[in-house]
Amino acid sequence: MARLFDHSARSDPYPLYAELRRTPVARQEDGSYVVSTYREIRDVLNDPRLSSDVRNLSRRMPSAGGEAAASFIHRDAPEHDRLRRMATRPFGPPHSPGLVTGLDGFLTATVGSLVDGLAGRERVDVVDDFAVPFPVTVVCHLLGVPREDEPEFHRWVNAVMNSVDYDPETDPKERLDSGVRAREDLRRRLAELVEERHGRAGEGLLTRLANDDGPDGRMTDADIVATAKLLLVAGNETVVNLVANGMLTLLRHPPVLRRLRDEPGLVVPLVEELLRYEPPVQIIPWRAANGDIRVAGTVIPRGSRIMLMLASGSRDPRRFPDPDRFDPDRRDNQHLGFGGGSHLCFGAALARRQTQIALTELVRRLDRPRLVADPPPYRRSPVLRGPAHLVVELGGG
């Protein structure tokens, strides 16, 4: 397992995943269990004894849960289900069925503005110049963050993302400290905005959550802030990596890139294949067994830590024919890119649509993009895997 966390494996972890799949459920020296095959991951994700609450680990982890630890995704039923229902009422179906599709105009305009800003340049970084600012702008709009606050929100989210990749051996401590300050500044400003929205009419998730008295009651201000941070930080990291991984994959497969330019409708199955082939979230780094779980002939004892290797499962040859081939025409593509079970990614529909529009417009409007380095430099995290930079040359050549 140590090799998975070695940064040298980040550009291509898939051979290591193939080795892991030889033992679908493997006990580690520290007593944790790694699950790496499709069927077994699905079984565990749907097992009611799988816990997302760090308190159910027999051995505490120093920072289990990370940025989203306070949000509902790190709680179990019935509390998780109640809070998720409350968050979903203004966010998606069945109560707000047109929310994501209603954003198409804004998404297209935002992408267009970012691409316009690249005009005249011979070299661009798809990550820094496009993928990083795009989702923060979208979520700020969705939450109803005042336009004058958006630059600060961009700065805070970027600082948090940079601190996720902090390496104590090589990075200055200021990088970590900046992330800590940014988390607190983000929490404080969101709390102020939520307090201001009580008793007010208007659009935006913050206003709607602050005033929604549904069947489950009203969310506390602390839970609204945690949900907003989940969308801003975890949702941002997912989309940044998915867009960057998508452009990298298309540049490595020129016939598919040309086909997408000519057939924009291809983007829907193409993004599903990206979620299988190069998912932004590669690993669910911990879950807890809240009871003995039997899977693939192995009993995972109560209190054990479980690591679910989503990206490995999505390349399991017992589930996907020719799994190491990128094929946007693949049928029956029930990947694990957004996890599964009751904790299926809360923002999956929004992430899909952002990526579909981003890739369609990038491919349509960038002039003959070519990779400068392959593989590009990767972020340190083996969990949220994506290029740190994706520099492409435009035109000429």
pLDDT in tens, 24-82: 999 999 999 999 999 999 999 999 999 999 888 877 655 443 444 578 988 999 999 99
pLDDT value of position 67:
45
Q: Specify the range with the lowest mean pLDDT, choosing from 63-72, 95-104, 138-147, 192-201.
A: 63-72
Q: Where are the domains of the chain?
A: 2-393
Average pLDDT over every residue of 178-203: 94
Answer yes or no: is pLDDT of 90 > 90.
Answer: no
**2-393 is classed in which CATH architecture?**
Orthogonal Bundle (1.10)
pLDDT tens per residue across span 124-143: 999 999 999 999 999 999 99
Q: How confident is the model at residue 147 (pLDDT cuts 50, 70, 90)?
A: very high
- Residue pair 32/304 in contact (Cβ under 8 Å)? The answer is yes
Q: CA 96 to CA 350: how far, in whole Å?
A: 13
Bridge partners, 51 (sequence order): 288
pLDDT value of position 68:
47
Average pLDDT over every residue of 99-125: 94
pLDDT value of position 168:
76
- Residue 352 tokens read as 């899909």
pLDDT tens per residue across span 294-310: 999 999 999 999 999 99
pTM: 0.94
- AA letter at 218: R
pLDDT value of position 51:
95
Q: CA 302 to CA 307: how far, in whole Å?
A: 14
- Residue 246 tokens read as 């998508």
